[in-house]
């Protein structure tokens, strides 16, 4: 059974960086992210049109390329969590987690008895076609699977310490767009209220021995908050990165063409 270098890095106080796939259905994007040096690929099922079959192909390619596949499920439900884990995802991101009860459910879905309620299925997607004893399989999955909860609603702030202290949670990830919308300050990452909340999440995560995380399309704010203590960072998406690289290339080439005239 393979290890999860992202989870292990976070447990030892290191920072990990990745990027999202949310639109292009090619599993080769995961391979490109691996070649670029990202630690993980964040495959989105909340806002994308991806089917489970498409996501399974992306996960398989990521595993083969040596990059950790993490899937954001559409919402906190057992079937969503377990089906992507059975396809070889090495972690899940759960959106809109608001209460300690939800956290308890999520962790239980990711662990086998007696530590949880996950149904047993030693799929080849998880074992990479190796023969693995059930005891080894269960212990490895319970140990290596990453659990990321997203803080995206005002309600979650009322239960922050209880939620982050729950054994099995690895990352408290700020969903700043959703949270800012819920607070009535949409997209204002630098608003004093938002700054205070991010600092509070970082402090709470540190207090409970887990990592604070952030997902965002602009690199400078991410770097700023990395310097403040955020250690799980997902930057941009495959379409934004492609668009930015293409636009930059076109500007340079057309500028060079103008110089010839």
Q: What is the pLDDT along the chain (261 residues), one digit of tens a residue?
A: 899 999 999 999 999 999 999 999 999 999 999 999 999 999 999 999 999 999 999 999 999 999 999 999 999 999 999 999 999 999 999 999 999 999 999 999 999 999 999 999 999 999 999 999 999 999 999 999 999 999 999 999 999 999 999 999 999 999 999 999 999 999 999 999 999 999 999 999 999 999 999 999 999 999 999 999 999 999 999 999 999 999 999 999 999 988 766
Closest listed residue to residue 141, CA positions, set 168, 119, 108, 111 = 111
| Res 42: pLDDT | 98
Give the active site residue among 14, 47, 191, 208: 47
Spell out the domain ranges in the chain: 5-260
DSSP secondary structure letters along 162-215: HHHTSTT--EEEE-HHHHHHHHT-TT-TTSHHHHHHHHHHHHHHHHTT-EEEEE
| Res 261: pLDDT | 60
Residue 134 to residue 121: CA distance in whole angstroms:
9
Question: Who contacts 200 (Cβ-Cβ below 8 Å, separation ≥6)?
Answer: 157, 160
Dihedral (Cα; 221, 227, 229, 230), 10-degree rounding: 40
Q: Is-contact 16 232, C-beta < 8 A?
A: yes
CB atoms under 10 Å from CB of 92, counted, come to 24
Long-range pairs for 125-134: beta carbons < 8 A, 24 or more residues apart: 125/56, 125/59, 125/60, 125/86, 125/87, 125/88, 126/1, 126/85, 126/86, 126/87, 126/88, 127/1, 128/2, 128/63, 130/1, 132/1
Strand partners, 68: 40
Tell which phi-psi region holds residue 233, choosing left (phi > 0), alpha (psi between -120 and 50) or beta. Answer: beta
The encoded tokens of residue 111 equal 């662990």
14 flagged as catalytic:
no
According to CATH, what is the number of the domain 5-260? Answer: 3.20.20.60
Residue 7 to residue 16: CA distance in whole angstroms:
9
Q: Rg (Cα) of the chain, in Å, rounded?
A: 19
The encoded tokens of residue 60 equal 């398989």
């Amino acid at each position: 059974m393979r290890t999860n270098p992202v989870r292990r890095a976070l447990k030892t106080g290191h920072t990990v960086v990745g990027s999202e796939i949310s639109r292009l259905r090619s599993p080769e994007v995961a391979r490109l992210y691996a070649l670029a040096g990202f630690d993980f690929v964040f495959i989105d099922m909340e806002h994308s049109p991806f089917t489970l079959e498409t996501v399974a192909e992306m996960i398989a390619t990521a595993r083969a390329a040596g990059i950790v596949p993490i899937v954001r499920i559409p919402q906190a439900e057992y079937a969503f969590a377990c089906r992507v884990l059975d396809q070889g995802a090495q972690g899940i991101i759960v959106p809109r987690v608001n209460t300690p009860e939800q956290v308890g459910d999520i962790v239980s879905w990711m662990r086998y008895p007696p530590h949880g309620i996950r149904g047993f299925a030693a799929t080849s997607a998880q074992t990479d076609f190796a023969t693995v004893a059930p005891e080894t399989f269960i212990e490895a999955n319970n140990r290596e699977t990453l659990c990321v909860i997203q803080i995206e609603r005002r309600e979650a702030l009322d239960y922050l310490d209880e939620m982050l202290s729950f054994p099995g949670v690895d990352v408290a990830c700020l969903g700043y767009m959703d949270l800012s919308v819920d607070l009535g300050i949409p997209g204002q990452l630098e608003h004093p209220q938002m700054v205070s909340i991010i600092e509070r999440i970082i402090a709470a995560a540190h207090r409970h021995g887990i990592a604070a995380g952030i997902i965002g399309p602009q690199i400078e704010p991410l770097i700023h908050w990395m310097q403040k203590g955020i250690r799980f960072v997902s930057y941009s998406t495959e379409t934004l990165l492609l668009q930015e690289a293409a636009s930059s290339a076109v500007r340079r080439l057309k500028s060079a063409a103008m110089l010839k005239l």
